[in-house]
């Protein structure tokens, strides 16, 4: 039978979805930093890996669970620094998986919370490669636990929004995709990831959306790590003097009434446009 090139797209599509023998990729959430917050399933996945592609924020103690002889490749990304492109990470994953190896894609936090895990799952499915996902503790939950600030509270917060402070390609977001005015009901918590560079813009957007400038903000750097630092401020501080928080990445911002509750441990306070390490009177709610 004569070959019909017009039918090539059909066979090409089928081949792309045929399973690749022996290939397996596991997207593993490494959690916020503290290696003790790894799940048992995550540890088992790391121990079984032939190749580990790990993010910049993965704690080195987490990598110690890998067996001897494993290939480890750092594929970290940091805003404002030389970083791996996602397309190149995709190529690496496919290259090693198609070689019949067990590949662990080790991500800080949870793969499906601002971790681009969805893109990698779609890639692997389309290539016919078996993929599993192991969840990890995301930064907002870790920050809430270490400071003992609840993300939800029956009297103070009935809903939570996870918001990225970084736009596509680590650019600055415009926050136009979210109705901040609708969230200004006094019963909502914003958990802002990657918000160090955009704290000022976020504060101004919140004020423009009608949020009270005295709304509490709690910033947590390096949640769950030994070097964790907490800073209390207000939406007004974010808008007018974001540098007074002296934040460094990685940090998460909790915005809302719950952020004014008593914090467990040391707390820095933004007061008179300067940072101090002495606790002020904590806000308490009935």
For 114-122, what is the mean pLDDT? 95
Tens digit of pLDDT for each residue in 154-187? 999 999 999 998 876 556 677 888 999 999 999 9
Catalytic residue flag (residue 243)? no
State percent of the chain over pLDDT 70: 83
Residues 132 and 153 in one domain: no
Residue 2 in domain:
no
Are residue 126 and residue 175 in the same domain, yes or no?
no
The count of structural domains within the chain is 2
The residue segments making up the domain with residue 187 are 140-276
Q: Does residue 13 sit within a domain?
A: no
Q: Which of 84, 113, 137 is the last residue of a domain?
A: 137
Residue with tokens 């101090």: 276
How many CA atoms, within 13 angstroms, populate the side-chain half-sphere of residue 144? 18
Same-domain pairing of 197 and 133: no
Which of 137, 166, 196 is the last residue before a domain boundary?
Answer: 137
SS3 content of the chain, % helix, strand, coil (to 5): 30, 25, 45
- Tell me, yes or no, whether 92 and 73 share the same domain: yes
- 14 located within any domain: no
- 155 in catalytic set: no
Is position 6 within any domain? no
Residues 130 and 227 in one domain: no
Cα–Cα dist 64/268, whole Å: 33
The verdict on 189 and 147 lying in the same domain is yes
Instruction: Answer yes or no: is 17 within a domain.
Output: no
CATH code, domain with 32: 3.40.1010.10
Indicate if 89 and 154 belong to the same structural domain.
Answer: no
Q: Which of 55, 59, 110, 237 is catalytic?
A: 55
Report pLDDT for 175.
Answer: 83
The single residue of 41, 56, 77, 132 carrying the catalytic annotation is 77
Q: Facing residues of 31 across strands?
A: 109
Q: What are the residues whose beta carbons fall under 8 Å from the beta carbon of 109, sequence distance 6 or more?
A: 29, 30, 31, 32, 57, 115, 136, 137, 138, 139
Which residue is associated with the tokens 């791996």?
A: 84
The yes-or-no verdict on residue 204 having pLDDT over 80 is yes
Cβ neighbours of residue 217 under 8 Å, at least 6 residues apart?
Answer: 232, 233, 234, 235, 237, 238, 253, 254, 255, 259
Predicted TM-score (pTM) of the model is: 0.84
Whether 15 is in a domain gets the answer: no
Within a domain: 284: no
Least confident stretch, 64-68, 170-174, 241-245: 170-174
The pLDDT, as a whole number, for residue 23 is: 78
Taking alpha carbons only, the member of 233, 252, 249 closest to residue 241 is 233
Q: Residue 227 belongs to a domain with what CATH number?
A: 3.30.950.10
Q: Are residues 190 and 238 in the same domain?
A: yes
């Amino acid at each position: 039978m004569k070959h019909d090139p017009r039918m090539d797209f059909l066979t090409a599509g089928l081949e792309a979805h045929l399973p690749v023998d022996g290939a397996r990729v596991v997207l593993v959430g490494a959690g916020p930093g503290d290696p003790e917050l790894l799940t048992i399933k995550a540890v088992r996945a790391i121990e079984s890996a032939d190749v580990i592609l790990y993010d910049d924020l993965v704690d080195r103690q987490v990598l110690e669970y890998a067996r001897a002889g494993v290939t480890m490749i750092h594929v970290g990304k940091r805003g404002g620094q030389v970083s791996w492109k996602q397309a190149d990470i995709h190529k690496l994953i496919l290259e090693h998986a198609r070689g019949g190896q067990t590949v662990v894609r080790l991500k800080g936090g949870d793969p499906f919370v601002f971790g681009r895990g969805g893109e990698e799952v779609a890639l692997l499915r389309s290539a016919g490669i078996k993929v599993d996902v192991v969840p990890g503790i995301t930064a907002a939950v870790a920050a809430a636990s270490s400071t003992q600030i609840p993300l939800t509270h029956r009297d103070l917060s009935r809903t939570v929004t996870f918001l990225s402070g970084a736009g596509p390609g680590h650019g600055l977001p415009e926050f136009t995709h979210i109705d901040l005015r609708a969230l200004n009901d006094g019963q909502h918590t914003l958990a802002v990831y990657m918000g160090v560079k955009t704290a000022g813009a976020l504060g101004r957007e919140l004020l423009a959306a009608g949020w009270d400038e005295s709304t509490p903000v709690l910033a947590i750097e390096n949640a769950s790590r030994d070097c964790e630092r907490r800073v209390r401020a207000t939406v007004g501080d974010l808008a007018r003097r974001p540098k007074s928080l002296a934040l460094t990445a990685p940090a998460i911002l909790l915005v809302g009434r719950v952020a004014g509750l008593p914090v467990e441990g040391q707390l820095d306070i933004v007061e008179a446009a300067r940072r101090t390490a002495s606790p002020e009177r904590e806000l308490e709610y009935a």
